[in-house]
Structure 1
Amino acid sequence: MKNAGAGRRILAFGFDYLLILLYGIGVVGSVAVLFREPFTSLFTHSPLVAQASGFVVITLPVFLYFSISEGSRHQGTWGKRRLRLLVTDNTGEKLTLGKALLRSGLKFLPWELAHFFIWHAALPSSLPSGVVVAGLVGANLLLVIYVAFPFFEKNSRNVYDLRVSTFVYTKG
C-alpha cells in the first residue's frame, strides 16, 4: 500500500465536511427552528453551558462519525472511501475502537479548543481576556500545524497519526 498524500487527505476531509455541513444545516438547523426558545437559551447565557451544548449537538456526532467509520471494516469515513483511502494501525490492520477514538479526539482537539475559547470571548466569562486570546491563538496555531505537518512528514502522517501510531494509505 502507498501512503496517502497530504492533498488527498485534505480532499477526503473536504468531502466529509460536506456531510458535517448537511448535518449542521439539516438536523441542528431544524432543531433550532422547531425548539427556538430553549435551544437559543443554551447558547446565550453561560460559556460553559454553550460549550457543553455545542459539544453534544455538533462535536460529539462528528467525533463519533470519524471514530466509528475509521474503526469499521471500511477503515475510513465516506470522504476517505470516495478517494480509496484506508486508516490502519502500525501493523496495517484495522484500528481498534479505542485507537480510533483516541485518533479522532486528538484530530478534533484544535476545533474543540477554539469552540471553548470562542464561547468565552462571546459571552460573559470569568476567564481573563488575555487567557481567552492566548487560547484562541493557541488553537489556531495547532490547527496550522495540523494542516501543514503532513506536507513535511515523510509518510504524510499527521501529528495525531504519529501519537496514535496510525497510517493513511491509498487502497490498491
Structure 2
Amino acid sequence: MMQKADKDTKINATFLLRLKAFLIDYLLIFIYLVFLVILSLFLSPSLQHIFQKSLIVAQFASFLIVTLPITIYFIICDSVLGGQSFGKRKVGIKTVDEKGNSITVLRAIFRNVIKFLPWEMSHYLVYRLVDIGDGEMPFRYYLIGGLIYTSIFTYILTAIFTKKKQSLYDIVAKTQVVKVS
C-alpha cells in the first residue's frame, strides 16, 4: 500500500530503493578499489610493504586507504554539503532529519560511522583470521563474526519492517531516507 503525501509529508524510501541506490554507489566504490589494486600492483608496488608489517599497521593503513575515503564520500553526500550520493540521486531518494531537512555534517558523520561499523569490524576480523592461518580460531572471533552478521541483518530488517522504513542506524541518528520529486 502506497503512502499518500501532502506538502509536509515525505514518502519513505523502501528497502529495495535504498538497496538499488547503494548498489549504484557500490559501483563507484568498486572502481575506487580497482584503482587501488592497480596502484598497488603496477604503479607503486612499494605500498604493499605497508600491509606486510604488523597487523595493527596493516589494519590502520587499510582504514585510511579504503574505509575512511568511502565513509567521507557518504558523509559529504548525505549531508547538506552534497545532498545525495550518486546512487540516491539516480533513484530519487535522499537522507533527511526528522523534520525533512538535509542532515548536518555532524549527523551524517554519526549516521555513517554506525552504518559502516559492521564493515570495519569485518575488516578487523579478516585481518585476524588471515594472521592465524590454519591455527585454532579464538572464541572471541566467533563472537565478533556473530555481532557483524547480527548488525547487518538488524540494519536490513529494520529498514524493511519499521513504519518509516528506517534502518537501525537511521533510528539512532534520527534520520530517514525519503523519496524526492
User: What's the TM-score, normalizing by structure 1?
Assistant: 0.91
For residue 65 of structure 1, what is the aligned residue in structure 2?
Answer: 73
Q: Give the superposition deviation at 1:45.
A: 3.6
**Counterpart residue type for residue 166 of structure 1:** T
Q: How does 1:43-62 map onto structure 2 within 5 Å?
A: 43-62=51-70
2:90 to 82, 85, 92: 82
The DSSP-based 3-state class of the residue aligned with 1:43 is helix
Q: Which amino acid aligns with 2:37?
A: G
- 2 CA distance for matches of 1:143 and 1:43? 27
Q: SS of the residue aligned with 2:164? A: coil
**Which of structure 1's runs of 4+ aligned residues deviate more than 4 A?**
none
Instruction: Give 1:1-16 correspondences, 5 Å limit.
Output: 1-16=10-25
Q: 1:39 aligns with which of 47, 54, 70?
A: 47
Deviation for aligned residue 1:154: 1.2
8 Å CA contact retained: 1:47, 1:119 = yes
Shift of 1:43: 2.0
Q: Which residue of 1 aligns with 2:7?
A: none
The answer on whether the counterparts of 1:13 and 1:79 sit within 8 Å (CA) in structure 2 is yes
Which residue of structure 2 aligns with residue 113 of structure 1? 121
* Structure 2 residues without counterparts, runs of 5 or longer: 1-9
Work out whether residues 76 and 82 of structure 2, in 8 Å CA contact, stay in contact via their aligned partners in 1.
no
Alpha-carbon distance, 1:73 to partner: 5.1
Work out the CA distance in 1 between the residues paired with 2:11 and 2:110: 24
1:24 to 27, 30, 33: 33
Q: Which of the residues 108, 112, 121 maps onto 1:104?
A: 112
Alignment correspondent of 1:170: 179
How far 1:47 moved relative to its partner? 2.1
Change beyond 3 A, Cα 1:22–1:16: same
Q: Which moved more, 1:41-50 or 1:145-154?
A: 41-50
CA contact (8 A) 1:3 1:167 kept: yes
In the alignment, residue 158 of structure 1 is paired with which amino acid? S
- Return the index of the structure with the highest Cα Rg: 2
Query: What letter is aligned with 1:120?
Result: R
* RMSD (CA atoms): 1.6
Larger RCO (CA within 8 A; separation ≥ 6): 1
Q: How big is each residue's C-alpha offset from its partner over 1:60-89, in whole Å with a ceiling of 9 and x where there is no partner?
A: 010000000111355221000001101111
Amino acid across the alignment from 1:163:
V
Which residue type is aligned with residue 169 of structure 1?
A: V
Q: Which amino acid aligns with 1:9?
A: R
% identical aligned pairs = 27
The answer for unaligned runs of 5 or more in structure 1 is none
SS in 1 for 2:52: coil
